[in-house]
Amino acid sequence: MAKNIAILAEDDYEDLELWYPLLRLREEGFEVTVIGMDCDVYYSKHGYEVVADAAVDEVDPNGFEGVIVPGGWAPDRLRRYPAINDFVRILFDNGKLVGSICHGGSVLISAGILKGKKVTAVSAIKDDLINAGARFIDTEVICDGNLISSRTPEDLPAFMREILKALKAQRS
């Protein structure tokens, strides 16, 4: 049975940081569910549409093996919804994969899961991550337990290599 991976969506997401993981995961046989606050159309920073498959309050986090939080300006909107933060926290607390790239770390901050964790992200949120108790390291990808983080679209190949490696290890 294919594992179900959530990708969070909201307006102004970074195009590549949503679509690259979505397509790579599907290529590898994973079921991917795009989750937003509503079953709605969300537009990227460059106008590309993604349709949410489900609203966050309609899904059970226990039905997912992981979540990816793309960057762009979307995380700043997503972090304002307690249901999004709860979804991410439950997956994290259950030892499921939590992936974050670029500004996606903003959601991890609001979910309250970074204390004592090593992470990377776009430098614009470095101080926020540190103030949330994380240890910031400026490198293309960081794996700390079930948390995988990356900086920018240029780091997507390394980010997805680690995401896929972790998910395949969970399959075993």
As annotated, the active-site residues are 103
Cβ-contact 139, 123 below 8 angstroms: no
CA–CA separation, 86 and 110 (whole Å) = 9
Amino acid at 109: I
Amino acid at 120: T
CA–CA separation, 91 and 37 (whole Å) = 17
